[in-house]
Structure 1
Amino acid sequence: MTLDPVIAQILAIGGPDPDYDTLTPEQAREAMNLRVAPLLTAAPPFADVTELSCPGLGGPIALRLLRPDTPGPHPVVLFLHGGGWVVCDLDTHQPLAAALARGSGAAVLMVDYRLAPEHPFPAAIDDCSAALDWLRAEGGAHGLDTSRIVVAGDSAGGNLAAVLARRARDGGDPPLAGQYLIYPVIDLPDPQQYHSYSDNDRYGLSTAAMAWYWSNYAGTAAPGPDAIPMLATDLTGLAPALVQTAQYDVLRDEGEAYAVRLAAAGVPVSVARHPGMIHGFLSLADMVPGAAAALVQGCTWLRTRLA
């Protein structure tokens, strides 16, 4: 299938990639905020939003709880936003989190984890782990059913969700109901191993961008599975997974390769490559029918896992 025509128009408006050799994190954040501003303006309001916090290694972690308009206690989607671990925040991703809450009937708890390079690896995953611990211990006081939790995230948030699912298994915690990985970052950018990097380098998210994000996030840290999920040697016993990828995304092949590894380890996994789509497409569900279908798929899967 060819590139979705609406998405093609959006890409044309976006213009060329910046010079990543000179781009600062502050410039990247400003550019991202400008890019998502129209989506935030158009997003319908969500009625039940509560600002919370939990303790973390670097200080209090801001949390945002979105509860659907249905009787509780609600199952929970612990949602970890994308943005290459460098950009984006609770505000940029609230429309997507709200759509998941509406469509799944679950509460969505968003985590404002610390961003790189000011707070490089492992700050982000440590904050997400702290948020999951808090949710298990304190969620009941906020009308949440902590026996039914799915970890979810898009892009870099999908990376964090995959790592968190493995950490939860290794920590002996009660089993998660699932892991929802939305065009996740699973491995380092390698065009030789993952042809989607060369095939899709001109569709919004580029190989150069991913290298820049990784350099800011990982810094000089030694490679390991807490940063790079593909390096995990044992995937058995992990929570059931839904992995959604986009046809025209540089991250497509590594996400699908991880789904193959999960299945080989005996993990129940569904994988869906969405035709005509690019990285970040799920946030375009109000404009692009293919994205709307993917959102329905994700919410249906969440309802099943959290039933």
Structure 2
Amino acid sequence: MRLDNETAALLEQFNQQVPDLHNQQVSIETSREGAQAMFIGLQGPLPTECRISELNIPSDAGDIPARLYLPAVETDTPLPVVMFLHGGGWSLGNLDCYQALVASLCELSGMAFISLEYRLAPEHKYPAGLNDACSGLSWLFQHAQSLNLDSNHIVLMGDSAGANLALSTSYQMNGINGIQLKGLYLIYPVLDVYSPHRTYPSREQYGNGDYLLSRDAIDDTRAFYLDENGRADDPLVSPMFLPDLQRLPATSILVAGFDPLNDEGRQFADKLQKYGKLKHFDNFDSTIHAFLSFGDLPVAQQARQSLAEQLKADLLPNK
């Protein structure tokens, strides 16, 4: 297994120019500015065959900003919809950082997407972000018809810490108050912030800081996310410990070969398989954590197309 040439060149650029974004020694504002500059600068061109509008989703904690993506061609038929939760260690990232990725998936799949800007740590500790995700899903289910979206064809998707939130939201909400999710897509998910790093060989092998995400960054994100009473072994914080995966919808997992999180993604896929809940598993073995956000990478374009085809097969099987 080796890095593809384009990923290797990008990593060299990162290691020369990009500071550690998850670092308690610098201000969170500085980290967020760095993350925004990196993700927006490397997201690639914004697709044009997509209509984008702003939403504000009411919740008990205040309005949640969101962004609705619709295919360029209007239709009278209600569209399947994907609620997307961005990554960033629960503390970085926003709608703008993920605009090109989400718009690309909308354009390629022909489905609607709603990207949610949940509250971030450390200002808003667990479970604030998770509560926002649950509120967003509940609102989407209740208001889908008014947006010409199909409440019977809702999928959750997230990357990294956003995948963690998508998984925990699915676990809490699927089958509740009429919500029946049609799928769950976990992109290089954060699944365990409790166990020692040595539990997962990929963290030992790829977590030294040379491959974008480091073991130290994982530790810092946990410290940002949890308050002094928070438990890292809470299954809604570390979903590797969820007791009953039967409650989940059909679930797809995508991992990257040179990602410290690779092994936990694989192990969780094995658990899903035992419950009959694993729909797809993809390992893009030549690249790194967060690669889907770097839109000029050929492997990112390949993975986006693959995800779009899976969505169409899962949600539009007769088309």
**Shorter-chain TM-score above 0.5:** yes
Gap runs ≥5 in structure 1 = none
Indicate yes or no: 2:216 matched with 1:211: no
Percent identical pairs in the alignment equals 34
Indicate yes or no: 2:305 matched with 1:296: yes
Equivalent of 1:76, from 77, 81, 101? 81
RMSD of aligned Cα (Å): 1.7
Q: How does 1:46-57 map to 2 (within 5 A)?
A: 47-57=50-60
Higher mean C-alpha deviation, range 38-47 or range 244-253: 38-47
Q: Are the structure 2 counterparts of residues 41 and 293 from structure 1 closer, same or farther at C-alpha, using a change threshold of 3 Å?
A: closer
Which one-letter code corresponds to 1:289 in the other structure? P
SS class of match (2:276): coil
Q: How does 1:102-141 map to 2 (within 5 A)?
A: 102-141=107-146
Instruction: Confirm or deny: 8 A CA contact 1:237 1:267 kept in the other structure.
Output: no
C-alpha distance after superposition, 1:203-238 (max 9, x if no partner): 011111111111101232123122111121111141
C-alpha distance after superposition, 1:49-79 (max 9, x if no partner): 1111112232111111000123242110000
Indicate yes or no: 2:203 matched with 1:197: yes
Residue 189 of structure 2 corresponds to which residue in structure 1? 184
Equivalent of 1:231, from 236, 241, 249? 241
Equivalent of 2:166, from 158, 161, 168? 161
SS class of match (1:115): coil
Runs of at least 4 residues off by over 4 Å: none
Which one-letter code corresponds to 1:290 in the other structure? V
Q: Partners of 1:267 and 1:47 in 2: how far apart?
A: 32
SS class of match (2:129): helix
SS class of match (1:236): helix
Gap runs ≥5 in structure 2 = none
Higher mean C-alpha deviation, range 234-243 or range 42-51: 42-51
Which one-letter code corresponds to 2:45 in the other structure? A
C-alpha distance after superposition, 1:63-120 (max 9, x if no partner): 1100012324211000001111101000100111111101111100011100000001
Q: Partners of 2:254 and 2:156 in 1: how far apart?
A: 14
Q: Partners of 1:172 and 1:271 in 2: how far apart?
A: 30
Q: Partners of 1:194 and 1:268 in 2: how far apart?
A: 21
Equivalent of 1:251, from 231, 255, 261? 261
Instruction: Tell me the matched-pair count.
Output: 306
